[in-house]
Amino acid sequence: MKLTQILFRQHIGRHLKKHWMIQGKKVARETAAFKYLAENNIPVYDANDIIKEERTIEPVEIIGFEPKPQLLDKTHPNWHDKICLTYKDNNVLLEGFKQAQRITKTVEIQDGLPESYIIKNSSKELDARVRNIILNSHILDAQQEKLEKIKDPLRPAFNFPRVYGVSPDRRMKLLTSKLMQLIESMAGPQLSNARYLLNDVQFRFNFEKASDLMQFDLTAETFLTANSALRMLTQDKGLEITFPDLHPISDTITLNLDNIYDTSNLYPISKNVTKRHPHTIFIDFNHEKVGNVFEEQVTEEQIIGRSLLKTFTAAASYARQEFGDKVKELPQPVTVQCVHSDGRLFHFGVLQLNTLDLENHDGVRNIWYQTPRLQMFNVCAYVKGKPTLEGYNSDVIKHLISFYDSV
């Protein structure tokens, strides 16, 4: 090993860091300039104040940019100190249909639809066209998105493979629009010209019950209107039928407690429009968006209760527009039909609204008719790479045609 001379050399990087550290601690010395200028009454200005240019920035609306969302506090224009119990699109009631009956003062006088509804037989050609609509809406559409995770209540920890296909919202929109287009082509121009078909319409109905302020603010994905109101279904006021007992549960359980709400009632069509009368509302049920407060699976009773509340909101908001905001006993009943579906199971209901006096359960009641949930098919998917539809049920299209033909 050869010994070399030790060189006292500086590490250039360490040297520069040390130099900057020492120089950075220096403090600027005060001079007598400010004192001299003050003695001679010479004003001193900051250079930044002289150079800075004062500008007034005016807001510019740019298409494609959304404004900042309004804070959900007391600065919100719709803030109220009084709490409002609200029911919205993603809600379901804890007790489902029974709780909806008590809130809306509605009774069911018989099983099934009224006798005036005639369910006709369907032809082979019609069934074939409906099958094609189901296939095109569920699996043959060009949209391919990652769908929700498959969950099995018996195996909650099992991780199923992700499935790609048509999203639930698009699937329901395609299915409803294609079925309505098919039914309109069969009904003929005389009947179809008396109808309007609207998408994504909002209804709002405010009322007080047992000193509580309540509001239903709901949306119908498809809304069918007509140039005349639907006829009255029955003279029965349901006076002999008792309401279900929920004791010790309150009628308003699982409703939202909100301080931000709009106190005005809303029916989506102006009174000057000829075809403004409600005919049928189509409601989509999306498992991803609608759920319980307690994160449990939505039951069939809760789905039926959702049908009743949405139909009641559409009928009540129309009644307020037609007969005034203070109306209680309606001069004539308001009838609205409802089709509630997730794309495979269909629930049909009809409401005859007789009263908006919801303070107590005495007196005239509202009447509700409904069918059990009808299954349109068993399986609609790719089986070994082939589009397959199994277990088609023609009862759904028969009920849809009956609803559309009702006047």
pLDDT tens per residue across span 296-319: 889 999 999 999 999 999 999 999
Residue 295 has pLDDT above 80, yes or no: no
Percent of the chain exceeding pLDDT 90 equals 63
CA–CA gap between residue 315 and residue 277 (Å, rounded): 10
Whole-number pLDDT of residue 3: 66
Q: Which two tokens stand for residue 99?
A: 């709780």
Residue 2 has pLDDT above 90, yes or no: no
> Which pLDDT band, with edges at 50, 70 and 90, does 20 fall under?
confident
Residues in Cβ contact with 312 at an 8 Å cutoff, skipping those fewer than 6 apart: 100, 104, 106, 205, 216, 351, 353, 366
Most distant CA pair in the chain, distance: 118
Whole-number pLDDT of residue 151: 83
Residues in Cβ contact with 74 at an 8 Å cutoff, skipping those fewer than 6 apart: none
Residue pair 370/315 in contact (Cβ under 8 Å)? The answer is: no
HSE on the CB side for 398, CA within 13 Å?
A: 17
The partner residues of 381 in beta bridges, in order of sequence, read 388
50-59, 100-109, 258-267, 331-340: range with lowest mean pLDDT: 50-59
Residues in Cβ contact with 46 at an 8 Å cutoff, skipping those fewer than 6 apart: none
CA–CA gap between residue 341 and residue 339 (Å, rounded): 7
CA–CA gap between residue 110 and residue 350 (Å, rounded): 12
What's the DSSP call for residue 117? Answer: -
Most confident of 42-46, 132-136, 186-190: 132-136
pLDDT digits (tens, 9 = 90+) for 215-256: 999 999 999 999 999 999 999 988 989 999 998 999 999 999
* 3 state SS of 39: helix
Residue pair 220/201 in contact (Cβ under 8 Å)? The answer is: yes
HSE on the CB side for 396, CA within 13 Å?
A: 25
Residue 354 has pLDDT above 70, yes or no: yes
The model's pTM is: 0.83
Torsions phi, psi for 112 (to 5 deg): 85, -175
CA–CA gap between residue 118 and residue 111 (Å, rounded): 15
What's the DSSP call for residue 69? Answer: P
As a whole number, mean pLDDT of residues 90-115 equals 94
CA–CA gap between residue 165 and residue 343 (Å, rounded): 14
Q: How many helices (H) and strands (E) does the chain have?
A: 9, 14
- Taking residue 320's Cβ as centre, other Cβ atoms within 10 Å add up to 20
